[in-house]
Structure 1
Amino acid sequence: MNVESKYIWESLPLLLQGMEMTLLISLSGLFGGFIIGLLAGTCRALGGRLSKTISLIFVELIRGTPIMVQVMFIYFALPMALPARIDPITAAIATIVINSGAYIAEITRGAILSINKGFKEASMAMGLSQRGTLWYVIMPLALRRMIPALGNQWIISIKDTSLFIVIGVAELTRQGQEIIAGNFRALEVWTAVALMYLMVTLCLSLLLKQLEKRIHIL
């Protein structure tokens, strides 16, 4: 079968729409996941017994189940319990939020625990409270150490959005499938889809490397 580039160019507008949706879902989900992960990770590292237990249960539950099961539960099972309909995009974003949140919680915990105890002791000696030490000394250092891992998590979330084809979200993979249903040019379309994912993830990887060089992590 010959590869005809004209089918790639004809498919490009719809594929770009799909990529826009992919980036929207991954960015929105990662933002929510960052907030949840920051709270859960801080609780795991510095919280009391109850908060540590709750955070641990959340992290292990999400990390121990496939993201496909999570989106199916949110989109199909949860509306039966509420009862309320959840639209596909909301379900997709919510899935990325809880999924990335669990992994970011572990990233946060590791970053906090990696900070030298001398910083905490010095800040306490200068009269800062435990809360002040956490937010003005520990967290800024931890956040800088988290940047590479957060970037990697964004790349993972971008690729995970392809699974939302099962609930009809018009992301990049879904758009590719719809185009193939019309022109039957699977080779050209899937090649274009793969290249678009590759270009986005490579660009993000290069940006992360530049960011790591510019930020001196203590």
Structure 2
Amino acid sequence: MDFGQISGDIPFLLNGILVTLEFTLLSAIAGFLWGIGLALIKISKFKPLAWFGIGYTSIFRGTPLLVQLYLVYFATPELTGYSIPALQAAVITFGLNSAAYISEVIRGGILAVDKGQREAAMSLGISKRGMMFDIVLPQALKHILPALVNESIALLKDSTLVSTIGVVDVLRRAQVIQSNTYLAFEPLILAAVIYYVIVMVLTTFARRLERRVRRSD
């Protein structure tokens, strides 16, 4: 091992952190927002809508994420004529995929809220929309916060797949260094350390947020 041979490439590798964080943040936001909508669709009393939500989740959870990524990136230009940028394709794919998992977490959180609170809200004349967004969802999110953090961490680690379509993230930059220096171990170890540090920072932030939420109960 000789990390000195790649010391000049470390700034190039570190610049990939911004790409990784940008991708993870955009995908997490898209997945969370669509996940809420999908969870509400699944608990809808309108059966065709609920069946759509169940079918959507089944497809995205039952097929490999890498296949989904390739379909969005390579099939979109063929079907629509639009040459979709690699990062955009990755955000769309990961957002849609993450929403399938997040929707199940949110649905479980909604169903875990005491039914008595819904009945009390209805007796006070609160609309169903107001009851869901002002009473039920805020309580559900408090209970499922650890699961949402775990999904975000999984999303961050899975982001390494975007290097397969040319997104120049941390792993892709490590591969570039590897091809230039013919050193396999050192660049990949540095990439692993970067991902580990980011995950630890995210975990620490999540724990503090969790404690803060508990104090507000």
Q: TM-score, normalised to structure 1's length? A: 0.93
Aligned-pair distance for 1:82? 1.1
Distance 1:47 1:193 in 2: 47
- 1:1-35: CA deviation from partner (whole Å, max 9, x where unpaired): xx223245322211111121111111101111111
- One-letter code aligned to 1:95: T
Within 5 A, what are the aligned runs for 1:121-132? 121-132=119-130
Secondary structure, counterpart of 1:127 in structure 2 = coil
Q: Give the Å deviation of 1:78.
A: 2.3
Of residues 62, 84, 91 in structure 2, which corresponds to 1:64? Answer: 62
Matches within 5 A, 1:75-86: 75-86=73-84
What SS class does the counterpart of residue 185 from structure 2 fall into?
A: helix
Q: Which consecutive residues of structure 2, in runs of 5 or more, have no partner in the other structure? A: none
| Aligned partner (choices 205, 211, 217) of residue 213 of structure 1 | 211
Distance 2:198 2:45 in 1: 37
The code of the aligned residue for 2:10 comes to L
Once the two structures are TM-superposed, the CA of residue 196 in structure 1 deviates from its matched residue by 0.6
Using the aligned pairs only, state the percent identity: 32
TM-superposed CA distance for 1:59, in Å, is: 0.8
Moved more, 206-215 or 23-32: 206-215
TM-aligned CA distance change 1:196 to 1:47, over 3 Å: farther
Task: Give the distance between the partners of 2:88 and 2:55, measured in 1 at CA.
Answer: 24
Alignment correspondent of 1:173:
171
1:14 pairs with 2:3? no
Query: What residue in structure 2 maps to residue 201 of structure 1?
Result: 199
- Look up the SS of the partner of 2:43 in the other structure: helix
Within-5 A mapping of 1:37-186: 37-186=35-184
1:4 matched residue in structure 2? 2
Give the AA of the match of 1:81.
Answer: L
Work out the CA distance in 2 between the residues paired with 1:152 and 1:122. Answer: 33
Q: Secondary structure at the match of 1:71?
A: helix
Residue aligning to 1:25: 23
Tell me how far apart the structure 2 counterparts of residues 7 and 190 of structure 1 sit (CA, whole Å): 14
Aligned twin of 1:189: 187
Deviation at 1:134, TM superposition (A): 1.0
Computed over aligned residues only, the root mean square deviation of the Cα atoms, in angstroms, reads 1.5
Q: Is the 8 A contact 1:7 1:188 kept in 2?
A: no
Distance 2:175 2:103 in 1: 34
**Runs (4+) off by over 4 Å:** none
Q: How many residues align?
A: 216
TM-score normalised to structure 2 length: 0.94
